Chains A and B, each alone.
Chain A
Amino acid sequence: MTNRHTTSIRRAWQSIASRPLTYLTLTAVAFFSAFPIYWSVVVASHDNSALAQIPPPLLPGGNFFANVARVFDTAPFQLALLNSVLVAGSITISVMLFSTLAGFAFAKLRFRGRNALLVLVIATMMVPTQLGIIPLYMMMIKLEWTGTMYAVIVPSLVSAFGVFFMTQYLSRALPTELIEAGRVDGASTWALFWRVVLPIARPAAAVLGMLTFMTAWNDYFWPLVVLTPENPTVQVALSQLAAGYVQDFTLGLAGTAVATLPLVLVFALLGRHIIGGIMQGAVKG
C-alpha cells in the first residue's frame, strides 16, 4: 500500500511533530483491545481466592488446565464443541458455495430481473433479523427441529451479505473476456463456473469463509432460542457456565478461553487476509 505514496508526501508527513503521539495512541488502543482477553486468561489460571487480593494478580498462574478440566466436568462442553464445529463448518461450506454461484450469476450473467433481485438481496441486509424470529421458531417446531442442529444450520445456509460480497468481488476480478472466450470454445456455463470462475473466486471465497465461520461460531441468540441445555453449541454452553447462582469467575473465564482462544489464534495468523477482505468489501459498500 505504501508504494502508492510518493516520497515527497511521506517526507512531509514524517515531519509532522505529532507522530510520536500517533504511535503512543495506537499502542494504547492495541493494549486496551488485547487486555480484556489477556485478563480473562489471567483470571482463568488462578483459583477464586487469588482474585480477592489487592493488588490483583497480573500474570497467569498455574491453575489454567485444572480450571479447564473443571469446565468439561460442569457443562457438556465436549458435545458443545463438536456441535459448534459441525454447525460452523457446514454453514461455512454452504455459504461459500452458494454465494459464489449466485455472485457469478449476478456479476457476469445476463438475465431478466437481475438488478431487481440484487436490490432485494441488498435491501434485506438492512432488515433486523429479530423481526422474523418468532415465525422462524414456529417453523422449527412444525418441522420438529427444535433441540437439533438442523434448527441452527438450515436457516443460516445462505447469506445475503455473502452474495453481495461475491458479486462485488467477481464483477471486478473476473474478466468478462475470459467468459466470452470460454463460450466461443464451446464450454457450458457450468463448466465455466468450475474451470474459470472458481479458481478466480478462491481468495475472496476464503475470506468470506473465515468471516462466516467466525460469525457462526460466535452466534448466540438463535442457538439459545432453539437448542436445549443438554445439546448446546459452545456459546450456549458458555453462557450456562457463566450464569450460575454462585459467581465462579475462574470457571466462567476458563470456559471463555476454551471457546475463544482457538478463534483468536486463527485470527492472529490469518487476520491480515480477513482485514483485507473487510476493507475490500467496505470500499465498494
Chain B
Amino acid sequence: MSAPVKAEARSRPAPSRPAGHPRPRRHLFDTKISPYAYISPFFLLFFAFGLFPLAYTAWVSLYDWNLLSSEQTFVGLDNYTELLADEYFWNAAFNTLSIGVLSAVPQLLFALWLAHLLNRPLRAQTFFRVTLLLPNVTSVVAVVVIFSQLFGREFGLINMVLEAFGLGRIDWQAGTATSHAAIATMIMWRWTGYNALIYLAAMQAVPRELYEAATLDGASTFRQLVSITIPMIRPTIIFTVIVSTIGSMQVIAEPMLFGAQVSAGAMATGGADRQFQTLALYLYEQGFRSFEFGYASAAAWVMFLLVVIVVGINFLLVRRMRGSLDS
C-alpha cells in the first residue's frame, strides 16, 4: 500500500539549488531532523497506548493475574491449556463464526450489487449515497436499542408484521439461530452502505470503454458486473473481505447490549444460555467481570490467532475466486 508514496519520492525533481552553493548548517538540520519531530507526537502516543499494550498482553497471559489479588504468579502456558478446554470459549467461537458468516456474506454481496446500481448516471445520486451511509453514522448503542425494539417479542414491529401475515411470533432473543439472525441484521444494516460506497469508489476507476464495448456486444448489466466489474475491482473486494472478517471477529457491543436489553444479568454472557456470546464478549466477561486478567489476555491472543487464520482462509478463498471467473 505504500507504493504510491514510493513512486512519489522517486519522481521528485532534484533540488533546484545550483551546485556549489552550500546549504547553511541550520537548513541541513531543518531538513534532516525536523521530519522526526513531525512524526514524533504520533509515534510517542502510538507506542505508549497502541503498541505497548499489544506486546504486554503476551506477558500478562503467562501469569495468574487477578485484579482482586495483589500477587501474580507465573503459570507459563496454563492459561492457554485451560482456555482450550473451556467449553464456553468454544461456544463463543462458534457464535462468532456463525454471526460473522450470517452478516458478512449477504452484506458484501448486497453492497456489490448496490454499488453496481449506483455506478450509472442517475438522478439524485447524492441523496441515495447519503441515505445509504446514514446507518453508519448511527452509534452501535442506538442501533441495538432500536433493533431490540423492532425484534421485541411482545411489542416488536417485526413480530406484529409476521402476525399480520399469519405467521407466528418469534422470540428472537431466546434461540441460537434467531438471535444470531437478529444480531447479523443489526450489523448488516449498519455496514452495507459503507461497503457499497467503497465498491462504488473502486468501480468509478474502471475504464468506461470496457462497458461501452460490452454494451455494443449486447452484454447484459449482470454479465457486465460479473465479467468486467468484479474482476477489475478484485483488490477492493479482497480489502473489504479482510476488513469485514476482522470486524466480525471483534463483534461485542451488539450481543452485549442485546443481552442487556432483554434481561439485565445477560450483559456479559450473551443471553441466558450464552446463545449469542461472541469471543470478544467472552474476553470482556473474563477480563472485566471476573477480573482474570491473565486468563483474558490468553483469550485475547488465541482470538488474535483465530482472526489471522480466518482472514488467511478468506484471503485464499477470494483469490481462488479469480480462477473460476477467468476460466
Contacts and interface: CB of A to CB of B under 8 A. Distances in A.
Interface of A: 1-2, 4-6, 8-10, 12-14, 16, 18, 22-23, 25-26, 29-30, 32-34, 36-37, 39-40, 43, 51-52, 54-56, 98-99, 101-102, 104-107, 109-111, 114-115, 117-119, 121-122, 124, 126-128, 130-139, 141, 154-155, 157-158, 160, 163, 167-168, 171-172, 176-177, 180, 183-184, 188-190, 193, 214, 217-218, 220-221, 225, 235, 238-239, 242-245, 247, 249, 252-253, 255-256, 259-260, 263-264, 267-268, 271-272, 274-275, 278-280, 282-285
Interface size class of B (residues with CB under 8 A): 35 or more
Given A43-B149, A171-B8, A158 B137 contact: no
**Which of B16, B35, B297 has the most chain A CB atoms inside 10 A of its CB?**
B35
Contacts of B150: 36, 39
Contacts of B283: 130, 133
B204 to A, nearest CB: 7
A30 B56 CA distance: 45
Nearest to A214: B137
Given A10-B121, A133-B283, A188-B34, 9 more contacts: A22-B117, A40-B149, A115-B2, A131-B57, A135-B57, A137-B288, A154-B49, A167-B5, A282-B198
A279 B200 contact: yes
Contacts, number: 335
B43 interface: yes
B120 interface: yes
Contacts of A163: 42
B106 interface: no
Contacts of A245: 264
A278 B9 contact: no
B4 A180 contact: no
B17 interface: yes
Contact of B57 (A134, A193, A242): A134
10 contacts: A39-B157, A128-B246, A135-B54, A139-B53, A180-B13, A188-B30, A218-B140, A242-B260, A244-B264, A267-B137
A111 B146 contact: no
Given A130-B303, A135-B60, A136-B53, A36 B126 contact: no
Given A36-B147, A101-B42, A110-B9, A6 B53 contact: no
Nearest to A8: B212
A13 B121 contact: yes
B289 to A, nearest CB: 11
Interface string B44-55: 011001111110
A250 B125 CA distance: 35
Interface of B: 1-2, 4-6, 8-9, 12-13, 15-17, 27, 30-32, 34-36, 38-39, 41-43, 45-46, 49-54, 56-57, 60, 67, 114, 117-118, 120-122, 125-135, 137-150, 152, 154-155, 157, 160, 164, 189, 193-194, 197-198, 200-202, 204-205, 208, 211-212, 215-216, 221, 236, 239, 242, 246, 249-250, 252-253, 257, 260-261, 264, 267, 280, 283-284, 287-288, 293, 296-297, 300-301, 303-304, 307
The list of the 3 closest CB pairs from A to B, nearest first, reads A132-B53, A218-B139, A243-B260
Contacts of B140: 218, 220
B137 A263 contact: yes
Contacts of A171: 4-5, 8
Contact of A12 (B147, B215, B250): B215
Q: Main SS of chain B's interface residues? A: helix
Given A39-B146, A106-B5, A256-B145, A131 B300 contact: yes
Nearest to A279: B201
B44 to A, nearest CB: 9
Given A158-B42, A243-B264, A2 B121 contact: yes
A29 B5 contact: no
A126 B43 CA distance: 17
A65 B16 CA distance: 66
A225 B81 CA distance: 27
A146 B12 CA distance: 48
B30 A189 contact: yes
Nearest to A111: B35
A151 B138 CA distance: 24
